[in-house]
Chains A and B, each alone.
Chain A
Amino acid sequence: MKKYNGNGLVDNKRRTLLKGAAALGVATALGGLLPSKAWAKKKVGMGFIYVGPRDDYGYNQSHYEGKSSLAKLDWVKAVDQENVPETIEVQKAMESMINLDGVQVLFPTSFGYFDPHILKIAPKYPDVMFLHCGGLWDASKHPKNVGSYFGYIDEAVYVAGIVAGHTSKTGKLGFIAAMPIPQVLRNINNFTLAARSVNPKITTTVVFTGGWSLPVKEAEAANSLIDQGIDVLTCHVDSPKVVIETAEKRGIYSCGYHTNQAVLAPKGFLTGAQWNWSKVYQDYAEMISKGTKIPNLVRGGFKEGLVTSSPYGKAVSAKAKEQADKVRSSFMSGSMVVYKGPIKDNTGRVVIAAGKEYKQTDVWLESMDWLAEGVIGSTKG
Chain B
Amino acid sequence: MNETEFSLLNILIAVIGGAIRVGTPFLFVSLGECLTERSGRINLGLEGTLMMGAMTGYGASYLSGSPWLGVMAAGMTGVILGGVHALLCQQQKVNDIAVGIALMLLGTGLAFFLGKPLIQPTAAHLPSLHLGSWSDSPVIQAALDINVLFVIGVLLAPAMAWFFRYSRWGLYVRTVGESADAARAMGLNVNRVRMYSTMAGGFLAGVGGSFLSLYYPGGWSEGLSSGQGLMAVALVIFARWNPVYCLYASLLFGAAATLGPTLQSIGMTWGYYLFHAAPYVLTLIIMITTSSSTRLLSGMPGQLSNVK
B216 surroundings in chain A (CB, below 8 A): 216, 219
A215 and B6 CA atoms in complex are apart in Å by 26
CB distance from B101 to the nearest CB of A (A): 21
Q: What bracket does the count of chain B residues touching chain A fall in?
A: 35 or more
* A229-269 interface with B by 8 A CB criterion: 239, 241-242, 245-246, 249-250, 263-264
A220 touches B221 (CB 8 A): no
**Of all chain B residues, which has the CB nearest A176?**
B261
Q: Check A224 against B14 for contact (C-beta < 8 Å).
A: yes
CA distance A136 to B273 in the complex (A): 28
CA distance A215 to B143 in the complex (A): 19
Q: Does A123 contact B (CB under 8 A)?
A: no
Q: How far is the CA of A259 from the CA of B272 in the complex (A)?
A: 28
Q: Is A214 an interface residue (CB 8 A)?
A: yes
Partner-contacting stretch, out of B57-65, B67-75, B116-124: B116-124
Given contacts A53-B119, A376-B4, contact A221 B261 (CB under 8 A): yes
B residues less than 8 Å from A174 (CB atoms): 265
Q: Contact check, B3 vs A218: say whether CB atoms are below 8 A apart.
A: no
Q: A250 contacts B142, CB within 8 Å?
A: yes
**Does B94 have its Cβ within 8 Å of any Cβ on chain A?**
no
Residues from 204 to 240 in B contacting A, C-beta threshold 8 Å:
212, 216-219, 221-224, 226
B267 within 8 A of A: yes
CB neighbours (8 Å) of A55 from chain B are 116, 119-120
Min CB distance B46 to A, Å, is 17
Taking the complex as formed, is A208 at the interface, i.e. its CB lies under 8 A from any CB of chain B?
yes
Flag if B217 contacts A208 (CB, 8 Å): no
B305 interface contact, C-beta 8 A: no
Asked if A213 contacts B272 (CB within 8 A), the reply is: no
B1-48 interface with A by 8 A CB criterion: 1-4, 6, 10, 13-14, 17-18, 21-22
A310 in the interface, Cβ–Cβ < 8 Å? no
B165 → chain A closest CB, angstroms: 34
B264 at the interface (CB under 8 A from A): yes
With A220-B258, A227-B265 known as contacts, the answer to whether A239 contacts B221 (CB < 8 A) is yes
- Please determine whether B276 and A210 come into contact, CB atoms closer than 8 angstroms: yes
Q: Is residue A207 contacting chain B, with contact meaning CB distance below 8 A?
A: yes
Q: Which of B4, B122, B226, B264 contacts A206 (CB 8 A)?
A: B264
CA–CA, A68 to B116, complex, Å? 17
Contact A208–B258 (Cβ < 8 Å):
no
Contact with B along A74-85 (1 / 0, CB 8 A): 000000000100
Contact of A86 with B by CB under 8 A:
no
Name the interface residues of A189-219: CB closer than 8 Å to any CB of B. Answer: 201, 203, 205-210, 213-219
Given contacts A208-B272, A210-B273, A380-B270, contact A57 B17 (CB under 8 A): no
Output the nearest chain A residue to B218 by Cβ-Cβ distance.
A245
Encode B81-121 as 1/0 by CB contact (under 8 A) with A: 00000000000000000000000000000000000100110
B142 touches A226 (CB 8 A): yes
Nearest opposing residue in chain A for B2, CB measure:
A203
Tell me the bound Cα distance from A328 to B79 in angstroms: 55
Q: Find the B residue at minimum CB distance from A250.
A: B142
A213 touches B265 (CB 8 A): no
Q: Note all chain A residues with C-beta closer than 8 A to B22.
A: 216, 220
Per the bound structure, the CA–CA distance linking A263 and B122 in Å amounts to 10
Whether the Cβ atoms of A220 and B21 lie closer than 8 Å is yes
- Check A56–B119 contact: CB distance below 8 A: yes
Residues of A within 8 A of B217 (CB): 215-216, 218-219, 242, 246
Which residues of A lie under 8 Å from residue B261 when comparing CB positions?
A: 207, 209, 217, 220-221, 223-224
**What is the distance, in angstroms, from B170's C-beta to the closest C-beta of chain A?**
33
Query: Which of B120, B226, B264 contacts A224 (CB under 8 A)?
Result: B264
- The 8 A CB mask of A152-196 against B (1 = contact, 0 = none) is 000000000000000000010010000000000000000000000
Is the Cβ of A381 less than 8 Å from the Cβ of B262?
A: no
- What are the nearest 7 A-B pairs in CB distance? A219-B217, A378-B269, A224-B265, A213-B223, A221-B261, A227-B14, A207-B264
Contacts from A to B (Cβ < 8 Å): 52-53, 55-57, 83, 171, 174, 201, 203, 205-210, 213-221, 223-228, 239, 241-242, 245-246, 249-250, 263-264, 376-378, 380-381
List, sorted by A's number, 17 A–B pairs whose CB atoms are closer than 8 Å. A171-B3, A205-B264, A208-B272, A210-B273, A210-B276, A217-B260, A218-B217, A221-B264, A225-B265, A226-B138, A227-B10, A227-B139, A228-B265, A241-B219, A246-B217, A377-B269, A381-B271
Known: A206-B264, A223-B14, A223-B18. 13 other contacts (CB 8 A): A203-B4, A207-B264, A208-B272, A216-B22, A220-B262, A221-B261, A224-B18, A227-B139, A242-B217, A245-B219, A264-B122, A381-B271, A381-B272
